């Protein structure tokens, strides 16, 4: 049965950068309130799928819909927050403050040339509080730890008060404690604020404990559903290509 309020619909989508298909006939629906992790090995097409969902790439065939609207005609980008893969790789010597970076998340709502007002600064404060960085607004981003910087970029996405938040590989370089508290934050945003979440991940342990659904991708959709149900040995072997050897007993 189709969900009543699909936020993202990926219908029969294939994509290639050159001759070889990177994604083949992907079908995936994300409903309002879902917390989905896209999982798969390096180069399996996760970032490509995220870019197709956000309309940054066009499918070779098939269709993507956002909030029921074909992505090519979708204009309500303030409903979507995006934390790209390379968000934290900017030059940290650049003297931008946390507040300035988070405020830039209001720009799509502000429109051209309008100066930020009270409501914008309130949204910035709220976002910093949500990610556990209240009071850090005047610090430079470069003076924060990797995990804190990651939170600044999530706060920037949250400042736009999105209904859907898409995070591409947000936890590269974090240790396991920081990783767990990061996913706890995402879980809280999903549960307490009802934000629909799509996150890209390599990790099967931490993610499986926190998310409501996983979609395993390796060019094709290998499986999709609750982690406890779909992360079976057989599916993980299909996903990561672990060879399953037949043991031959020669008696």
Ligand X SMILES: Nc1ncnc2c1ncn2[C@@H]1O[C@H](COP(=O)(O)OP(=O)(O)OP(=O)(O)O)[C@@H](O)[C@H]1O
Closest CA to 195 of 29, 15, 40, 34: 34
Which residues 125-184 are close enough to bind ligand X by CB under 6 A?
169
Do residues 158 and 106 make contact, with C-beta atoms less than 8 angstroms apart?
no
* Nearer residue to ligand X within complex by CB, 33 or 62: 62
Strand partners, 45: none
Least spacing, CB of residue 72 vs ligand X, in Å: 20
Cα-Cα-Cα-Cα torsion 36, 179, 51, 105, nearest 10 degrees, comes to: 100
Could you tell me the smallest distance in angstroms from the CB atom of residue 232 to ligand X? 21
Distances in Å between the Cα of 235 and the Cα atoms of 194, 224, 231, 243 are 30, 10, 6, 12
Site string for ligand X, 5-24 (x = CB under 6 A): ------------x----x--
- Measured torsion, CA atoms of residues 200, 195, 209, 183, in degrees rounded to the nearest 10: 70
Q: How far is the CB of 71 from ligand X (least distance, A)?
A: 17
Residue 96-125 contact track with ligand X, rule CB under 6 A, x = bound = ------------------------------
Q: Does 203 bind ligand X (CB under 6 A)?
A: no
Give, as ranges, the residues between 29 and 88 that touch ligand X (CB under 6 A): 40, 42-48
Report the interface residues with ligand X, using CB under 6 A: 17, 22, 40, 42-48, 169
């Amino acid at each position: 049965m189709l969900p009543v309020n699909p936020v993202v619909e990926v219908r029969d989508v294939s994509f290639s950068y050159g001759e070889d298909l990177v994604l083949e006939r992907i079908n995936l629906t994300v409903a309002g309130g879902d917390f989905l992790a896209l999982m798969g090995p390096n180069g399996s097409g996760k970032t490509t799928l995220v870019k197709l969902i956000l309309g940054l790439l066009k499918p070779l065939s098939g269709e993507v819909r956002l909030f029921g609207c074909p992505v090519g005609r979708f204009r309500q980008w303030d409903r979507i927050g995006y934390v790209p893969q390379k968000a934290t790789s900017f030059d940290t010597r650049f003297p931008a403050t946390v507040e300035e970076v988070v405020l830039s998340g209001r720009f799509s709502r502000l429109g051209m040339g309008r100066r930020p007002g009270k409501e914008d600064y309130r949204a910035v404060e709220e976002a910093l509080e949500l990610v556990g960085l209240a009071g850090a607004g005047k610090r430079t981003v470069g003076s924060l730890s990797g995990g804190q910087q990651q939170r600044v970029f999530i706060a920037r996405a949250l400042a736009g008060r999105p209904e859907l938040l898409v995070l591409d590989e947000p936890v590269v370089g974090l240790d396991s404690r920081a990783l767990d508290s990061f996913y706890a934050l995402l879980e809280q945003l999903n549960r307490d604020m009802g934000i629909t979440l799509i996150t890209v991940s390599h990790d099967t342990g931490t993610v499986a404990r926190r998310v409501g659904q996983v979609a395993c991708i390796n060019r094709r959709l290998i499986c999709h559903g609750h982690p406890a149900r779909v992360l079976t040995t057989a599916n993980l072997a299909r996903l990561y290509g672990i060879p399953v050897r037949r043991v031959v007993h020669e008696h």
